[in-house]
Amino acid sequence: MKLSTIGEFGLIRCIANLCHADANNVILGIGDDCAAIQNNRQYWLVTTDLLTEGIHFDLRFITFYQLGYKSLAVNISDILAMGGEPEFFLTSLAAPSDIMAEDIEALYSGIRDLAVQFNISLIGGDTTAAQNHCLTISGTLIGKSDAIIRRKGASVGDKIYIAGYPGQSSAGLAILQKLQKPIDLDNLAVSDPSLVPFAPLLRRHLTPTPKALRTNAAITAMIDVSDGLLQDLNHICEQSQVGFAVPTDKIPISQSLLEASVWLNKDPLEFALRGGEDYELLFTSPDDLTSAYFHIGDIIAHDRIIIDSQGVERHYQNNGGYDHFKTNSTS
Ligand code: ADP
Ligand code: MG
């Protein structure tokens, strides 16, 4: 069977069925944002992500510095999504031999600058030549946590929250694809003043900076939005064996996204519900956290329902977010 038929998540299920992690101290293997390994009263969290040219990035629109920054950011996001603190990073490169050494230095400057913000140590990696002029960066991040928060754990009656505006990154990508040029984010007001209103979208796409939750409230389940809000909420609900009700009126849309959607002639809600790579935390809690986070819906027993602005209910179809092997992917 072709991967395009079973899809990315079907493939991951197939791998998980083939390879069980049987060791007693493996608390979580395949299936969450990180693997979790018990170490006395703490957990080690381990996550790995791969960025490959032509699939995850286009060097016509992203600088090497931004790419390095993002390669660490996507991994930090997974550690934060489990309530952990990132500590040690390993990064591996498959690089075409005609790439300039200065570009790889810029890539590592991006990694270093974000690592400094989170007090992360780069402790190793691997390097190889790549064929077909295709650059690949793989990052593995190790973190620690006293109490892990899983995708599994949401209960009926919990509220669903998102920690930041969704759809920002995919709109940023759409802008870059329309412009077909790299952006100097630090000098936008001088280099491209007309793009200043879109800066938060471009920044979210090129140099996302993940943020940990700041609350002592009970968080019952959590994921970071990498595949799209609805698809990632669906991951929480599949693992927690619950449903969701999300009124689209509750989805926060930033002013930048509204303005960019007009410029792009696109529906802002499509970016917000289905756009990938936001790396915002999506979580559930029985508590009222509306003073700090966006309350976007509620956990219900079975159905997965989106309620439009007219009050019409639609059942969620699992075909809108990002899947690496399916042709209906939107980002
Ligand atoms: P995220 O978007 O949070 O990075 P993914 O959707 O990439 O998560 O992965 C979901 C789960 O599947 C994770 O536990 C990850 O480690 C696991 N996984 C993904 N690809 C593979 C693979 N090729 N082999 C083994 N495990 C995998
Ligand atoms: Mg994740």
Q: 208-227, pLDDT tens digit by residue?
A: 999 999 998 999 999 999 99
Query: For ligand 1, is residue 31 a contact (CB within 6 Å)?
Result: yes
Cβ neighbours, 10 Å, residue 96 = 14
What average pLDDT does the segment 242-270 reach?
A: 97
**Which atom number of ligand 1 is nearest to the Cα of residue 223?**
3
Question: What is the per-residue pLDDT for 216?
Answer: 87
Ligand number with the minimum distance to the CA of 14: 1
| Whole-number percent of the chain with pLDDT over 90 | 84
**What does the block give as tokens for 123?**
């402790």
List of E strands, 195-240: 221-224
- In this prediction the pTM is 0.94
Eight-state DSSP code of residue 158:
P
Indicate if the alpha-carbon torsion angle 284, 35, 327, 198 is positive or negative.
Answer: positive
* Cβ of 49 less than 6 Å from ligand 1: yes
Distances (CA, A) of 173 to 177, 231, 247, 251, 330: 6, 19, 26, 20, 12
pLDDT at 22: 82
| Least confident span in 58-72, 178-192, 280-294 | 178-192
117 pLDDT above the threshold of 50: yes
pLDDT beyond 90 at 181:
no
Q: At what angle do helices 64-80 and 199-206 cross, to 10 degrees?
A: 80
pLDDT digits (tens, 9 = 90+) for 160-176: 999 999 999 999 999 99
pLDDT exceeds cutoff 60 at 274: yes
Give 225 Cα–ligand 2 centroid separation in angstroms.
7
What's the 301 CA to ligand 2 centre distance in angstroms? 24
**pLDDT score recorded for residue 321:** 62
Tokens 């390095």: give the residue.
68
* 277 C-beta closer than 6 A to ligand 1: no
Check if the beta carbon of residue 157 is closer than 8 Å to that of residue 298.
Answer: yes
Find the mean pLDDT for residues 238-249: 97
**Ligand 1 closest atom vs CA 74:** 4
Residues 108, 283: Cα–Cα separation, whole Å: 32
Ligand 1 atom nearest 81 alpha carbon: 3
8 Cα: distance to centroid of ligand 1 (angstroms): 9
The residue among 163, 172, 167 whose CA lies nearest residue 201 is 172
What's the rounded mean pLDDT across residues 103-125? 98
Q: What pLDDT is attached to residue 320?
A: 58
CA of 28, closest atom in ligand 1: 14
CA distances to 17, 67, 73 from 114, rounded to whole Å, are 36, 11, 7
pLDDT at 122 over 80: yes
Asked if residue 21 has pLDDT above 90, the reply is no
Question: How high is the pLDDT of residue 80?
Answer: 98
**Pocket flag, ligand 1, residue 240 (CB < 6 Å):** no
| Distance (Å, whole) CA 307 – CA 66 | 37
Q: Ligand 2 (ion): which residues have CB within 5 A?
A: 33, 78, 224, 226
Contact 33, 149 (CB under 8 A): no
**Which ligand lies nearest the alpha carbon of 49?**
1
Kindly state the average pLDDT of the residues 49-77. 95
Is residue 100 pLDDT above 50, yes or no? yes
The pair of three-digit structure tokens given for residue 221, joined into one six-digit string: 């389940």
Q: Band the pLDDT of 133: cuts 50, 70, 90.
A: confident
83 backbone φψ class: left, alpha, beta (φ>0; ψ -120 to 50):
left
Q: Which of 6, 9, 11, 12 to mutate to test the pocket of ligand 1 (most atoms within 8 A of CB)?
A: 12
- Rounded to 5°, angle at Cα 76 from 210 and 276: 60
**What's the average model confidence in pLDDT over 221-240?**
96
Residue 328: pLDDT band with limits 50, 70, 90: very low
- Of the candidates 214, 230, 221, the one whose C-alpha atom is nearest the C-alpha of residue 278 is 230
Of all protein residues, whose CA lies closest to atom 17 belonging to ligand 1?
30
Helix, strand or coil for residue 52? strand
Whether 322 has a pLDDT exceeding 70, the answer reads no
Q: What percent of the chain has pLDDT over 70?
A: 97
pLDDT greater than 80 at residue 298: yes
Ligand 1 centroid from CA 30, angstroms: 6
Query: Helix 199-206 and helix 255-264: axis angle, to 10°?
Result: 90
Q: What is the mean pLDDT of the chain?
A: 93
Residue (of 277, 282, 279) closest to 299 by Cα position: 282
Q: How confident is the model at residue 184 (pLDDT cuts 50, 70, 90)?
A: confident
